[in-house]
């Protein structure tokens, strides 16, 4: 048993740009990172930070310029490692003329599964991603979100120990995002290692044991999300029981009415909840939920970059 | 430092070695094939024949199929012209079409044999070009020297159309020399030399042709020729009858009715196809009607009516 | 190792799904219609013409399948990015190439096989309705087993063309691959002319270049024995074996190069 599920060592990738005189562009710059078995790692960063490049290097879809990537103690691209991993590419695309079930049976076959076994597993997985009813439809008729779900199902067809998901939430509606979050949570509960990338911070919240934050091809910080210094930019408060007038008397103007008598209140930074909550209980308004709104990853990176440049200046 | 899952062929040495080996194998098989089988390569001969070869190359190995297309065009050209209006019947494309057909497919049996028949047929039923027909058959002999029918067909053309009986006998002999040729060719050659052009030897020729025909088309053609010979016999009889009328009346007959009236004929004489014979009292000849399928009668110039 | 047959089977399934085998219906209709029409037209040569037509159609139909599916086998996977998930499965890149190749060859084998059966059936029927005497006038029997030599060489040639198409598609776009493959096909039928180049030009450099090209470029003319077979000229087993050996080595070289190039590619 390898010590690490995933290990990146000084992983670097240059892409040649231009046709005649190739001027290399560094997509990934000496990234080192270890992921332990059973961890759920959020690989976060804005678009173009090198997240997809890292995943392609792990799948050996591209070759590193220098450094190495290992999965389960084996070099990237090793067939024995591939037997034990699953991979959802970014904006996945499969074969138009196949049905979801046929795709999973084909891919199952590549793992040596007998057709009957593969079919059983396909129907379990398609139920799990909510496509049970659509499994006999050709993929050409699938929406983006449905393809995303098929992509997750095919990544699990071999019951993998390590699952790589590249932007699993992109292109999904709110229900899809919730389902995907649930799915990742269940993968974690099953003891699998999950490595997923996202450019949206909130995707990582409540899911990840750890996050790694990438900016411009470099790993800028890793750690538990709570330990990272994200600035709180306000809170989202959901209440019920009061009426609009009562809330207005508190001087809270950013109020929207939600269904079944609930209200969503945006609390700015200068009205922290510990000030507001006592007043609410005075007005017999029940608090349904309270969520801090963090700064976006972009803002965080801007701040990091500014802070890094400041001493040098 | 990069680690790749290395297969043997990803190492430059092994890749190069394997590539060199494979290239060596396919080059040496190509050399061997060219040495051993070059003689049977049908395309090498084609290179030196004008006009058709360009097409053969353009056809990218579909030349046999293209030959079929040209053969069908030749048939359509011949048949269409023959059936067309008697004015402006021109068979000038027939020769080139057959030439292209046989160049594209040098073993196209029908194109040689039927083509030669079409070419020799006298105007207006054909272009009347025995010279082209002989050239076409000689091309066929070059490709397939063991086809005795081609030699016989040439002898035939000399016999029937050119009336060079010495040449005809020579070709019948050549045909008889080919292994597997029909036994009667030798006697046909002797007969031609002795009595070429006589109706009796012609009849023998067509009779043999009829009996040995391997297609209906040739058999029908031979039957038509034999019928024409019968018509010539009829015309001899009719001329004899006219001669007797001249003896009695002191003048040539002007119509069949006069001969019937003189009890020299029992009725209007009909040719073997059922069309009445035509007496041309102005020119003084007897012939088959021009709308008879036997028209025009071959070879022998018709004897003049006695005056 | 069992990955290659699975990929091959998938290629075959997809070609069935894409209605590639419908060309067989077209082929049958063509043969039957032609045998009826040509029987009306030409004097005693209908069996020859059906043979010519059947063999040529087997080759043309196969050629189009080999080229148009061959060029898409790999490049479509790359272009549509389906290769990302495929290569994350326990598939080595050379297994992908070989599996795709085997799959298309299997498709072609089924196609050519069915066409051969159909051709023999039509010819058998034509022979059956003719008189014994008429049959004797044919150069070769209608259902001449020697036609198999031509069919085998057509199939081997298609295998070679498939390898060419696959080779190009590992590094160029489908459009360019199609142009290059058809280009090589045409050159392959003309390049016998390169062998006799010294009789046409003086320059020894040009002659040696022509020689090199003659041996380096695929020589497809020798695979064409349709005319010989139709005219009952012998095609020896040795010839078929030697020509097939040539194809095997050439295909080997093409696949080796394809695998080498493909294994080095970054799928950006």
Chain C neighbours among B 208-227 (CB < 8 Å)?
214-217
B116 in contact with chain C, both atoms CB, cutoff 8 A: no
CB contact under 8 A, C81 and A91: yes
Q: At residue C221, does pLDDT exceed 70?
A: yes
| Residue A306, domain member (yes or no) | no
Q: What is the pLDDT of residue C222?
A: 87
Question: Using N-to-C axis directions, what is the helix angle for B109-120 and B216-249, rounded to 10°?
Answer: 20
Q: What's the pLDDT tens digit per position in B255-280?
A: 888 888 888 888 888 888 888 888 87
Residues A10, A53, single domain; the answer is yes
Query: Which has the higher per-residue pLDDT, A111 or C188?
Result: A111
A142 in contact with chain C, both atoms CB, cutoff 8 A: no
Residues A178, A264, single domain; the answer is no
Residues A238, A217, single domain; the answer is no
CB contact under 8 A, A87 and C84: yes
CB contact under 8 A, B5 and A64: no
Name every chain C residue with its beta carbon within 8 A of the beta carbon of A107.
85, 89
CB contact under 8 A, A63 and C80: no
Residues A136, A255, single domain; the answer is no
Q: What's the pLDDT tens digit per position in C42-69?
A: 555 678 888 888 888 899 889 989 998 9
In which domain, by residue range, is A267 found? 232-294
Q: At residue C198, does pLDDT exceed 70?
A: no
Q: What is the mean pLDDT of residues C67-83?
A: 89
Grade residue C16 by pLDDT with cuts at 50, 70 and 90.
confident
Q: At residue C141, does pLDDT exceed 50?
A: yes
Cβ-Cβ contacts under 8 Å between A and B: the total is: 21
Q: What is the pLDDT of residue A18?
A: 67
| Phi, psi at A34, each rounded to 5° | -120, 140
Q: What's the pLDDT tens digit per position in A176-205?
A: 888 888 999 999 999 999 999 988 777 777
CB contact under 8 A, B214 and C243: no
Q: What is the pLDDT of residue A197?
A: 93
| Phi, psi at A277, each rounded to 5° | -60, -45
Q: What's the pLDDT tens digit per position in B201-260?
A: 788 878 877 887 777 777 887 888 888 888 888 888 888 888 888 888 888 888 888 888
Q: What's the pLDDT tens digit per position in B126-176?
A: 888 889 999 999 999 998 898 888 998 898 888 888 888 888 889 988 998
CB contact under 8 A, A83 and C90: yes
CB contact under 8 A, C85 and A89: yes
A89 in contact with chain C, both atoms CB, cutoff 8 A: yes
Domains in chain B with CATH codes:
52-199 (1.25.40.10), 213-307 (no CATH)
| Residue A313, domain member (yes or no) | no
Contact B272, B289 (CB under 8 A): no
Q: What is the mean pLDDT of residues A306-313?
A: 57
Least CB–CB distance from B61: residue in C224, C238, C243? C224
Torsion of CA A152, A166, A92, A200, to 10 degrees: 100
Residues A211, A243, single domain; the answer is no
Residues A133, A32, single domain; the answer is yes
Residues A73, A111, single domain; the answer is yes
Lowest mean per-residue pLDDT among A133-147, A260-274, B28-42, B177-191? B28-42
Q: What is the pLDDT of residue A294?
A: 73
Q: What is the mean pLDDT of chain B?
A: 78
Q: What is the pLDDT of residue B1?
A: 36
* Residues of A engaging B, defined by a Cβ cutoff of 8 Å: 60, 63-68, 75-79
Q: Is B93 helix (H, G, I), strand (E, B) or coil?
A: coil
Q: What is the pLDDT of residue B38?
A: 61
Residues A202, A55, single domain; the answer is yes
* Residue of A159, A208, A168, A204 lying closest to A188 (CA atoms): A208
10 Å CB burial of residue A281 (0-12, 13-18, 19+) is exposed
Q: What's the pLDDT tens digit per position in C158-189?
A: 999 999 999 999 988 888 999 999 999 988 88
Residues A245, A219, single domain; the answer is no
Residues A109, A257, single domain; the answer is no
| Residue A310, domain member (yes or no) | no
CATH number at residue A239: 3.30.70
Residues A153, A278, single domain; the answer is no
CATH number at residue A51: 3.40.50.300
C64 in contact with chain A, both atoms CB, cutoff 8 A: no
Which of C1, C37, C51, C52 is the mutation pick for testing B, counting most B CBs within 10 A?
C52
| Residue A303, domain member (yes or no) | no
**Number of other residues whose CB lies within 10 A of the CB of residue C215:** 18
CB contact under 8 A, C220 and B61: yes
Q: What is the pLDDT of residue A254?
A: 59
> Which stretches of B215-295 are DSSP H helices?
216-249, 256-261
How many domains does the structure of chain A reveal? Answer: 2
Segments of chain B assigned E as strands = 278-280, 285-287
The terminus-to-terminus CA distance of chain B in angstroms comes to 119
Q: What's the pLDDT tens digit per position in C253-264?
A: 999 999 999 998
Residues A117, A27, single domain; the answer is yes
Sign of CA dihedral A53, A54, A60, A65: positive
Instruction: Count the residues in chain A.
Output: 313
With vertex at residue A264, the alpha carbon angle to CA A182 and CA A231, rounded to the nearest 5 degrees, is 70
Cβ-Cβ contacts under 8 Å between B and C: the total is: 130
Task: Give the minimum alpha-carbon distance from B107 to chain C in angstroms, rounded to a whole number.
Answer: 7
Contact B280, B238 (CB under 8 A): no
CB contact under 8 A, C87 and A60: yes
Grade residue B53 by pLDDT with cuts at 50, 70 and 90.
low
Q: What is the pLDDT of residue B3?
A: 41
């Amino acid at each position: 048993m390898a010590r690490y599920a995933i290990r990146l060592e000084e992983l670097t990738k240059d892409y040649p740009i231009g046709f005649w005189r190739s001027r290399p562009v560094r997509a990934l710059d000496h990234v080192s990172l270890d992921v332990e078995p059973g961890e759920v790692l959020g690989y976060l960063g804005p678009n173009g930070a090198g997240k997809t490049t890292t995943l392609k290097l792990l799948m050996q879809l591209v070759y590193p310029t220098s450094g190495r990537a290992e999965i389960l103690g084996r070099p990237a691209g090793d067939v024995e490692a591939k037997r034990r991993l699953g991979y959802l590419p970014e904006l996945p695309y499969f074969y138009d003329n196949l049905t979801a079930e046929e795709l999973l049976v084909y891919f199952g076959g590549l793992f040596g599964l007998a057709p009957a076994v593969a079919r059983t597993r396909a129907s379990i997985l398609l139920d799990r991603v909510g496509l049970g009813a659509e499994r006999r439809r050709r993929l050409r008729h699938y929406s983006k979100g449905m393809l995303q779900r098929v992509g997750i199902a095919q990544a699990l067809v071999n019951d993998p120990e390590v699952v790589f998901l590249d932007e699993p939430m992109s292109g999904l509606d709110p229900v899809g995002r919730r389902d995907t979050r649930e799915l990742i949570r269940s993968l974690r509960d099953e003891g699998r290692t999950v490595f997923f990338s996202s450019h949206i911070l909130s995707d990582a919240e409540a899911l990840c044991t750890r996050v790694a934050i990438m900016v411009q091809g470099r790993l800028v910080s890793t750690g538990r999300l709570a330990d990272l210094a994200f600035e709180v930019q306000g809170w989202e408060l959901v209440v019920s029981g009061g009426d609009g007038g009562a809330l207005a008397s508190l001087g809270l103007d950013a109020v929207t009415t939600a269904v079944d008598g609930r209200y969503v209140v945006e609390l700015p930074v200068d009205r922290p909840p510990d000030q507001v909550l006592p007043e609410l209980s005075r007005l017999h308004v029940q608090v349904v939920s309270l969520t801090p709104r963090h700064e976006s990853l972009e803002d965080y990176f801007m701040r990091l970059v500014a802070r890094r440049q400041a001493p040098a200046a | 430092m990069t680690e790749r899952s290395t297969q043997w062929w990803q190492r430059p040495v092994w890749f190069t070695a394997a590539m060199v080996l494979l290239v060596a194998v396919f080059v040496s098989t190509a050399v061997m094939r060219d040495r051993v089988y070059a003689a049977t390569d049908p395309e090498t001969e084609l290179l030196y024949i004008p006009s058709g070869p360009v097409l053969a190359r353009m056809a990218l190995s579909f030349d046999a199929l293209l030959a079929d297309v040209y053969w069908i065009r030749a048939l359509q050209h011949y048949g269409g012209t023959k059936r067309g209006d008697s004015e402006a019947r021109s068979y000038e494309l027939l020769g080139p079409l057959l030439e292209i057909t046989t160049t594209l497919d040098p073993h196209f049996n029908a194109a040689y044999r039927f083509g030669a028949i079409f070419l020799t047929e006298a105007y207006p039923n054909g272009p009347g070009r025995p010279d082209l027909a002989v050239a076409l058959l000689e091309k066929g002999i070059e490709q397939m020297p063991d086809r005795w029918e081609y030699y016989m067909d040439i002898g035939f053309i000399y016999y029937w159309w050119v009336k060079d009986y010495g040449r005809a006998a020579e070709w019948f002999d050549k045909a008889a020399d080919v292994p597997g040729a029909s036994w009667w060719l030798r006697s046909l050659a002797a007969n031609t030399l002795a009595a070429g052009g006589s109706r009796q030897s012609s009849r023998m020729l067509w009779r043999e042709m009829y009996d040995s025909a391997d297609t209906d088309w040739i058999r029908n053609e031979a039957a038509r020729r034999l019928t024409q010979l019968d018509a010539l016999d009829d015309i001899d009889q009719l001329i004899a009858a006219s001669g007797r009328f001249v003896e009695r009346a002191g003048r040539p007959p002007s119509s069949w009715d006069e001969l019937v009236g003189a009890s020299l004929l029992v009725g209007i004489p009909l040719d073997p196809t059922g069309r009445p014979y035509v007496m041309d009292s102005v020119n003084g000849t007897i012939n088959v009607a021009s709308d008879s399928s036997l028209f025009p009668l071959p070879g022998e110039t018709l004897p003049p009516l006695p005056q | 190792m069992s990955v290659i047959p699975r990929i091959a089977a998938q290629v075959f399934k997809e070609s069935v799904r894409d209605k590639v085998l419908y060309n067989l219906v077209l082929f049958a209709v063509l043969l039957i219609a032609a045998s009826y029409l040509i029987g009306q037209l030409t004097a005693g040569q209908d069996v020859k013409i059906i043979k010519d037509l059947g063999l040529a159609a087997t080759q043309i139909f196969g050629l189009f399948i080999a080229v148009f599916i061959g060029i898409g086998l790999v490049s479509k996977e790359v272009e549509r990015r389906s290769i990302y998930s495929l290569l994350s499965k326990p598939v080595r890149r050379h297994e992908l190439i070989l599996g795709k190749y085997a799959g298309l060859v299997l498709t072609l084998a089924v196609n050519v096989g069915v066409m051969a059966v159909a051709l023999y059936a039509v010819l058998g029927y034509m022979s059956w309705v003719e008189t014994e005497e008429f049959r004797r006038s044919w150069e070769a029997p209608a259902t001449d087993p020697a036609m198999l030599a031509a069919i085998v060489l057509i199939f081997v040639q298609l295998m070679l063309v498939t390898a060419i198409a696959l080779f190009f598609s590992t590094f160029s776009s489908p459009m360019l691959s199609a142009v290059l493959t058809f280009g090589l096909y045409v050159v392959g039928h003309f390049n016998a002319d390169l062998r006799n180049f010294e009789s046409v030009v003086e320059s020894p450099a040009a002659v040696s270049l022509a020689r090199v090209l003659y041996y380096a470029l695929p020589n497809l003319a020798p695979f064409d024995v349709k005319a010989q077979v139709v005219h009952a000229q012998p095609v020896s087993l040795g010839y078929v074996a030697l020509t097939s050996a040539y194809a095997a080595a050439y295909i080997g070289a093409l696949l080796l190069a394809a695998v080498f190039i493909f294994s080095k590619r970054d799928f950006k």
